[in-house]
Structure formats: C-alpha cells, structure tokens
A and B are shown apart, each in its own frame.
Chain A
C-alpha cells in the first residue's frame, strides 16, 4: 500500500481516494432517494382521507429539540474530523462519542414523536398523508439508526487500531454521511414540519 504523506490521512492511499469518491456518488443516489420520498410526500400531503392533517398533529417542541440535537451532532462530528487531522486520537474519539450520544437522543425523541402520532390516530395505515409522512421520517430515522451502529464500530476500531489511513478514511466517510443526514433533516424540518404547521 503506497501512502502519500503530503495528503491528509483519509486521502493518503489510492484505495482511500476511490472510497471517498464512491461515497459521494452514493450520496448522489441517496439524494435521489429522498427526492422521490419528498415528491411522494408533497403529492399526498393534502390527501388526508378520514385522518388528521399535518397542522393537527405536528408539535413544535419535540421537533425543535430533534433539530437542535441533530444540528449539534453535525457540528461535533466536524470537530471530530478536525481533531483527526491534527492526529489527536483521544479528542477524535471524544467528539465521536458526543456525536453518537446526540444522535441517540435524536432517535429517542423521534420514537416519542412516532408513538405520539399513533396515539392521536395518525398511524401508518390511516391515510395516504400519514403513510407518506411516516415513511419519509422513518427512512431518515432508519439512516440515523444505521449510522449510530456504523459510528460505534468505527469508534471501536479507532480505539483498537489508532488513527491509520484506513480508520481515518472510514471516519471521514462517516462524517460525510452524518452531514448528509443533517441536510436532509433541514429539508424535513422546513418543508414538512414548518410548511405543515403554517
């Protein structure tokens, strides 16, 4: 394995370069995936059948908490990558742990939110609107859940193996993924919740 030391660790080998580009293309596919979900949501938004509408079920408090948690976690993973570039293993791990805790807290609030929806009669089967809403939110939530496990495994690998070109590459790609989920959440926050509450 040829290591080019003039580049940041995560870009230092040929394989690493390929993986980062490949992941950007994967994010392109993910954008299409969420774009399709949003399209379906906007199409079905007002088709509420006998169920409640968005304005009736959305609550601003849990949504704001979720937004703050996820945005902060995006910031801390950025700090984590910064620490990784300075070759500070402990700091990197620390920021990873904070990110994962924030992510888990986000997920907790989202689970609460889902049970609330089911409670007020907006379950998956209620109407086209609820199906599209819960599928879009659920897809994002599933991404966060998978990300939590993925991040945890990378954390363990950093602890065991240190900051090598391989672990640095994985961490960097994980940070791309995490920022991407954050951007999707901003769209969900603006175009599903705020638009729905207006």
Chain B
C-alpha cells in the first residue's frame, strides 16, 4: 500500500489528469503511426543508432523545441495565476511545482539542448571536419541527456514534480519539507542529463583543438566556434561540481546523510554555494554560444568583417574566468557579511566590462555596413538594446547593499528573463532561422519570421518590464497569490497580456515551419544568405562526410575569401574517407540509465542493482568491442558529389 502510494501524484488536479490523458494519447498515436507507416526500422537505422553529428544535432533541436513549449505552458500558467489578485487557478503547491519545472525545463532541457544542437551541427562544419572527435560518445551524450529529460518530465504524471524551486535550496528540498518524490526526480534526472553534457564538453574541446582544417589556427576560427570552445571549457569545469552536488543531495534524501540538514553538523548553505558555483558558469555556458551566433549573423547581414576579432575572443575568455568567481551574488542577503559581499559585488560588476566590449564590437560591425534586415538580423538588432537593458539591471542587482531591496522580488525575475530571452532565446531563434536552409534545404518564410520576431518583442516588453516595477514595489517572486490592496494587479494583468502575445508568437513560429515545409522553394543553392564561413561551402543537403576534400583555410572567413578574393578552398584529389559505424549501444545504455534513474527515484533497490549491472555490461561490451569504422570509396564520393552537383572535377 505504502509502496504504490508513492507513484500517485500527491496533488492531483483536473489539469494534471487532462495532461495524463493527453500524453497517453499522443504516445499511443506516435507508436501507432510509426507502426502503421512501418518506420521502426528506419527510425532505428537512421536516427537511434546514428553517430552522425548532424543527425544528433537535429534530435537535440527537436527536443529543445518540444521543451520550449512545455516550459512555455508552465510560464503562461504562472502569468495567468498572477494576473488577478486572489486567483484560484493554481493553489500554492501546484504553483510551486510549476515554477520549479518551468525553471529547470527552460534552462536545462530547452536552452542547453538548443545550444548543443548548434555545437553539434555547426562546429565540425565550421572547422572543416568530418565529424566530432568521438562520434559514439556524442550519441551517448545525446541519449543520456534525452533520458534525463524524459525522466524529469515523467515526474509530472508519476509521483509528483519537484517543488523546491529550480535552485532546490536545502533544507526546503530535504525530506522534511519536500515529502513527495519530486525532488528525487530533480536530483537524479539532472544527474543523468548532466553526465551527458559533461561528455559533450570533453568531446567538443578535443574536436576543436585537434580537428581543424589545415591553415585554421586558433585565431582564425569562426567566432561561433570560439564561443563553443569556451563554453565547453566552462562545461568541463563546472559540471563536475553539479555531479558531486546532486550526488550529495541524493544521499541526503535517500540514504539519510547529513550534508545539508540542519542537525548533526549539516550545513544548508553548502548547497547554495556549490549550486551557484555550477549555476553561475551555467548561465555563461548558455549566453556565450548565443553571442557567438550573433557574431556570425551580424557580419553576414552588415556585409562587413566582424569588428574587433581579438577583443571578442579576449572578452569571452575574461567572461569565462569571471563566471567562476561571482557565485555568491545570488545570495547577498544570506549572511556572509559585508566583506565577502563587497568582493562578489566587484567581480560581478566587472563582467559588464567584457560584455560591453562585445556590444560595442557588434555596433561597430554594423557601422557603415550595408545592413540587410532579414529575420535573423532583426533578432540580432532587437537583441542589442534589450540585452543592454538586462545588463544594466544586472549591475543594479550586483550592488550588494541595494540588493537587500531587490532580493527575491519580481525585479530579479524581470532581470534574468531580460537577459535570457533577448540574449539566449533570440539567438536560438535567429540561429535556427539562419541555419534552417543549411539543415533542411529550404528557408523559413521571412514575412512570418519577422512577424514572430516583432510579436515576441512586444510580448516580451509587456510581460517583463512591468515586473521591474512591481518588484521594486515589493512583489515577492515565487508567491502564488497576492491581495488586492497591494496594487499589483494592473501591472500583473499587463504582464499576462504580454505572455499571451509571446505565446501567439511561438504558435506563429510553428505555423511558419508548417507553411515553409509546404510552400518554400527548394532550389536555394548552398549559400542562400551570401554568408562567410566554411559551413556554407559544402552542399545542401550536406553529405554524410561533410566535405569531399578537406578545405584549406587562410583567414577567419575562408569561404568569403574563396567567393570574393579568389582563395582556393578545395585543393587536391578526392581520397577515400574514413567514417565511424553506427551503434545501438549508446541508446541501449541510456535506456538502462533511465530504468536506473526511475528505480532510484522510488528506491526500488532490486531494479537499481539489475540496471546498474546492465550499465556495466554495456561498458564491458564496449571495452572488448573491435570497431574500426568503415571507408567510403572514391567512386561513391564522386557519385554523391555529381548528384549534389557542383562537383570538384
């Protein structure tokens, strides 16, 4: 009885039951659909076992888009709940669960896969490589991430979602105050996804250091590759902290240890500190690749070189170092004293300097450029003022004395959405629109794209600017309701209106994808935007081996030089190409991780042991396996090249 009780959602409501039915029906429809169209074999051969960085990238993209909508629904539910005083749409427990999952889903399961999609898809192409350094590890990274994501989303229909905030501070997240299994899901699902991300980091650092095309020195890499490199360095140094942190949290919850408890010597502030030692670098893992994308898009549509290449690189390196020494600014009010607060205030404000350098570099790139307002460019130009506003409020928050007023208010919520939405989300949408023709062979509709960008911006301004005001007036974050006498209701209603407009913008995005699939012309060539770096020099669709002949590079924009200045990109003869074999092992092993995670959440020890043995068996199998990959013959390459036209002799 006790055993089965834990699987029930502790706090059911009509919405949850409706979602259960909805999810069940959707899953059934997918399974029936795949079976009906006999696509299981195709799915297994072409996608599940793939080690191709482009396909893995596309799977990351699909997951990210799916999670964007899941997190978005959470967001709009919160805005609706707060749009009226004393609203009863969500009760306190339900509201807690919604803001917790909104935060985790948006950061870890939407923004992270979105940037990893860009790493996967772009980095090998930009450096002229055939694949990443460890293709199979890359597949394992994706499937671990995917299973972590799946496990986390399962919480919502089996056992209850985590409800202690995306930061899950102890003692609130401990067994005493979080009695459902929700926080177990948090600890274990993020752990599994985090291991996948750590492997991504190792993979891409190795790829970028070792697999660049001849002539591409570090200081001739495209700016996105630079940002990916630095972000991956941050991943490798920040994610192990999360690994340890979540392991300790798991032990506190499942094995009764006393790391973060309030008795037997436990220290709850240790969680807060370690969480942000990972958490603050994490936000730079998200924003640096976003900066990298803007640095690709702005020069392309300003028709000018990126201004200040070296200072762009230097500023990213400085940001990455500073990101590790600012963590305590997340809890100025939690008692570390004025001396420590002052130090963290100063380091935090210092981040504004390299970020400002980047903003000015983009502005100088635009200066005297022949600007072409395509959708990606529109996002980039909207990004600059909006992000600067978010940056300025960030410096306000960095002042530790003043922070006592802002701490835990809607002002903070407004600030981080103001940097994440115009910073990361705009970059993701701009990058997606920009690279869509390279990925899928047709362009997204420009008219609908611009409508989306403008609606999103109007919605964003209406949704988040009022929060600055209510926050300064004292509206606390994470409160599920407020009374009429506070006077917050009008601005919160405006905010809900803004959120609704943003929702329309995202629906328009989906419609745009549908519309473009049906009506967009397919004869767009390899380089529809007249762009500058190597990824545009190969065919669309991109052959499995990326480049028939490894490109030769002599500047930061080799492809532009080959178009305008007579630089010869592809020298030499076609040779046979070595490619890795597909493998089902990453998927099978990740499935075992999923079972392991689920069993851990509910403390079903026999299953934990069996699945652990399964994971180890996969490792043993891998150790003894001999797989030297395969070769694509010269004839095959020539045939493919002819088919895609524009073959080099």
Q: Which residues of A contact B (CB under 8 A)?
A: 1, 17-19, 21-22, 25-26, 28-30, 32-33, 36-37, 39-40, 43-44, 47-51, 124-129, 131-132, 135, 149-150, 153-154, 156-157, 166
CB A71 to nearest CB in B, in angstroms, measures 25
Pick the most buried of A30, A128, A154: most chain B CB atoms within 10 A of its CB: A128
Establish whether residues A51 and B264, one from each chain, have CB atoms under 8 Å apart when the complex forms: yes
For residue B363, give the distance in angstroms from its CB to the closest CB of chain A.
36
Apart from A44-B259, A153-B623: 17 A-B pairs, beta carbons within 8 A: A1-B578, A21-B209, A25-B206, A29-B198, A29-B239, A32-B236, A33-B240, A36-B240, A36-B241, A40-B274, A124-B251, A124-B255, A124-B256, A127-B265, A128-B259, A135-B247, A157-B623
B264–A28 CB distance below 8 A? no
Minimum Cβ distance to chain A for residue B550 (Å): 13
B256-287 to A contact mask, C-beta < 8 Å, 1/0: 11110101111100100010010000000000
Q: Cβ of A21 and Cβ of B258 under 8 Å apart?
A: no
Complexed CA–CA distance, A21 and B236 (Å): 14
Please indicate which of the listed interface residues B201, B206, B209, B277 has the most CB atoms of chain A within 10 Å of its own CB.
Answer: B206
- A-B pairs with lowest CB-CB distance, top 5: A47-B265, A49-B264, A128-B265, A33-B240, A32-B240
Specify which chain A residues have a CB less than 8 angstroms from the CB of B256 in the assembled complex: 124-125
Q: Do residues B237 and A22 form an inter-chain contact, with CB atoms below 8 A?
A: no
Q: How far is the CA of A44 from the CA of B260 in the complex (A)?
A: 10
CA distance A39 to B270 in the complex (A): 10
From residue B630, how far is it (CB to closest CB) to chain A in Å?
A: 12
Say yes or no: is B205 at the interface (Cβ < 8 Å to chain A): yes
**Whole-angstrom distance from the CB of B320 to the nearest CB of chain A?**
14
Within 8 Å CB of A39, what residues of B? Answer: 274
A-B contact pairs, 14 of them (CB 8 A): A17-B210, A21-B133, A32-B237, A40-B244, A40-B274, A43-B267, A44-B267, A49-B258, A49-B264, A51-B264, A127-B265, A132-B259, A149-B620, A150-B623
Query: With A29-B202, A29-B237, A135-B248 in contact, do A18 and B133 touch (Cβ < 8 Å)?
Result: yes
- From A22, A48, A131, A154, contact of B206 by CB (8 A): A22
A106 to B205, CA, bound (A): 34
A121 to chain B, nearest CB (A): 13
Q: Are A128 and B266 closer than 8 Å at their CB atoms?
A: yes
| The residue from A21, A28, A132 contacting B237, defined by CB atoms under 8 A apart | A28
Q: Which of chain B's residues have a CB closer than 8 A to the CB of A19?
A: 134
The CA of A24 and the CA of B206, in the complex, are separated in Å by 10
User: Which residues does chain A contribute within 8 Å of B265, judged by CB atoms?
Assistant: 44, 47-49, 51, 127-129
Tell me the complex Cα distance, A30–B620, Å: 21
A187 to chain B, nearest CB (A): 15
Least distance between A181 CB and chain B CB atoms (Å): 16
Say whether A1 contacts B624, CB under 8 Å: no
Q: How large is the interface on B (under 10, 10 to 19, 20 to 34, 35 or more residues)?
A: 35 or more
Instruction: Determine whether B38 belongs to the interface, using a CB cutoff of 8 Å to chain A.
Output: no
Interface: B243 (CB within 8 A):
yes
Tell me the bound Cα distance from A153 to B248 in angstroms: 31
Q: Does B310 contact A (CB under 8 A)?
A: no
Find residues 229-251 in chain B having any chain A CB closer than 8 Å to their own CB.
Answer: 236-241, 243-245, 247-248, 251
Interface of B is mostly: helix
How far apart are the CA atoms of A28 and B234 in the complex, in Å? Answer: 11
List of B residues within 8 angstroms of A28 by Cβ: 236-237
- Using Cβ atoms and an 8 Å threshold, which residues of chain B touch A149? 620
Closest to A134 in B: B257
Give, as a whole number of angstroms, the nearest-CB distance from A89 to chain B.
18
- Our pick among A17, A32, A43, A154 for the contact of B241 (Cβ within 8 Å) is A32
- Of A1, A29, A37, chain B has the most CB atoms within 10 Å of the CB of A29
Q: A1 to chain B: which residues have CB within 8 Å?
A: 578, 628
- Interface 0/1 of B618-644, CB less than 8 Å to A: 001001101010000000000000000
In contact, A36 and B206 (Cβ under 8 angstroms): no
The B146-165 residues at the A interface (CB cut-off 8 A) are: none
B203 CB-CB contact with A under 8 Å: yes
Q: Nearest residue in B to A18 (C-beta to C-beta)? A: B133
| B251–A36 touching, CB < 8 Å | no
Do A131 and B251 touch across chains, with their CB atoms under 8 A apart? yes
Most buried by A among B240, B247, B256, B270: B240
Distance (whole angstroms) from the CB of B210 to the closest CB of chain A:
6
- Min C-beta distance of B50 to chain A, whole Å: 19
Closest Cβ–Cβ distance, residue A142 to chain B (whole Å): 11
**B348 smallest CB distance to A (angstroms):** 21
Q: Known: A28-B237, A43-B270. Contact between A49 and B244, CB under 8 A?
A: no
Q: How far is the CA of A1 from the CA of B631 in the complex (A)?
A: 10
Q: Which residues of B contact A131 (CB under 8 A)?
A: 248, 251, 257-259
Which residues of chain B are near A49, meaning CB under 8 Å? Answer: 258, 263-266
Which residue of B255, B258, B620, B626 is within 8 Å of A127 (Cβ)?
A: B258
How many whole Å from B275's CB to the nearest CB in chain A? 11
| Cβ–Cβ contact B257 & A22, under 8 A | no
Q: Which residues of B sit under 8 angstroms from A127, Cβ to Cβ?
A: 258, 264-265
In the assembly, what is the distance between CA of A129 and CA of B267, in Å?
A: 10
**Is the CB–CB distance between A36 and B270 below 8 Å?**
no
Tell me which of B134, B258, B270 contacts A125 (CB under 8 A): B258
The answer to whether A125 and B255 touch across the interface, beta carbons within 8 angstroms, is yes
Tell me the complex Cα distance, A15–B209, Å. Answer: 14
Which residues of A sit under 8 angstroms from B243, Cβ to Cβ?
A: 33
Interchain CA distance A125-B263 in the complex, whole Å: 11
Task: Report chain A residues within 8 Å CB of B248.
Answer: 40, 131, 135
Q: Complex Cα distance A135/B255, Å?
A: 12
CB pair A135 B251 closer than 8 Å: yes
Closest B residue by C-beta to A22: B206
Q: Residues of A contacting B239 with CB < 8 Å?
A: 29
Nearest A residue to B623 by beta-carbon distance? A153
CB nearest neighbor in B for A161: B626
Please, which residues of chain A bring their CB within 8 A of the CB of B578?
A: 1
Interchain CB contact under 8 A, A22 and B264: no
Indicate if the CB atoms of B624 and A157 lie closer than 8 Å.
yes
Minimum CB–CB distance from A82 to chain B (whole Å) comes to: 24
| Bound complex: CA A127 to CA B256 (Å) | 10
> B274: nearest residue on chain A (CB-CB)?
A36
Which B-chain residue is minimally distant from A28 (CB atoms)? B236
Neighbouring A residues of B628 by C-beta, 8 Å: 1
Residue of B nearest to A153 (CB): B623
Complex: chain A residue closest to B202, CB-CB:
A25
* Min C-beta distance of B213 to chain A, whole Å: 14
Evaluate contact between B237 and A50: CB separation under 8 angstroms: no
Nearest chain B CB to A88 CB, angstrom units: 23
Residues in chain B near residue A129, CB distance under 8 A: 265
Within the assembled complex, what's the spacing in Å between the Cα atoms of A69 and B620?
Answer: 26
Closest CB in chain B relative to A133 CB, distance in Å: 11
Whether A40 and B133, one on each chain, are in contact in the complex, defined by CB atoms closer than 8 angstroms, is no
B216 CB to nearest chain A CB (Å): 17
- Chain A contacts for B206, CB-based, 8 A: 18, 21-22, 25
Contact (A47, B267) CB under 8 Å given A26-B202, A28-B237, A36-B274: yes
Inter-subunit contact A153/B245 (CB<8 Å): no
CA–CA, A147 and B117, complex, Å: 33
